[in-house]
Amino acid sequence: MQKVRIKTRAEIEKMQQSGQAAAIVLQRIAETITPGVSTAELDCVARETIAALKATSSFLGYHFPGHTPYPSTICASVNDVVIHGIPNETQLLREGDIIGIDTAVSLRGYHGDNAFTFPVGNISPSAKRLLSATKASLYAAISAAKPGNRIGDVSFQLQHVAESAGFSVLQNFSGHGIGRHLHEEPNVPCMGTPGRGLRLKPGMVLAIEAMVNAGLPDVELLADGWTVTTTDGTLSALFEHTVAVLSDGPEILTGSTIWTE
């Protein structure tokens, strides 16, 4: 098993820079989301922004066992697409859609990873509740990411907040450690038991992901080998931050104004 990598303060400072770069990419995409825009156009915005930041995409060409290399710089997951939706020119956003944008960049040898689910114009009250509960579950999990706690404490918050609102969480996908590699140990599941799992220590950096379905937790993988959808056709939302575990508590490395709007 891969060893959990403890980062020095200097490394975390570098990860703040990559985290802020990832946040800027997400901000630029947020400014572009409107009915009629294609998901391919959003990917172009991401590519241009990453290049302007003198960073590189963590996703483009990413190879995961059993998958073809990922072809885009973002994952654009619309409505019932849970994660890993591949942008394309024919998929146009419509009023009332929700779209989860996941993007990550590498800068100075370290990765920053973040995701946000955006409304497209006016969305339904039920969709608003899903987005609100998913974001709340992420922040509850982040608050538990402090030294002495365990991964199960973080995962429990993801699950508890979402399920208390009447939603379900993904069972077979998880957040992850992050640093010089996009995916490192430990895994951070969306469900867990308080007091169980790896104990958190200062210097750990986690990409914590809240992945919440409006209906059942069951998902399926489409023929492209990447796109994951809900099996019952209900909406799904994704929110993610890169978070450093410090001696005095968690520090979000990917914060931006989109989270407070």
**Core vs surface per residue 109-127: b (16+ CB within 10 A) or e:** ebbbbbbbbbbbeebeeeb
Alpha helical stretches, state H, 81-170: 125-143, 151-164
Give the pLDDT score at 1.
46
Query: Which of 163, 192, 161, 160 minimizes the C-alpha distance to 175?
Result: 192
Q: What is the pLDDT of residues 66-94, one digit of tens each?
A: 779 999 999 999 999 999 999 999 999 99
Give the pLDDT score at 260.
80
pTM for the whole structure: 0.96
Residues of the chain where predicted confidence (pLDDT) is lower than 70: 1-2, 261
Domains of the chain: 9-254 (3.90.230.10)
Q: What is the pLDDT of residues 152-180, one digit of tens each?
A: 999 999 999 999 999 999 999 999 999 99
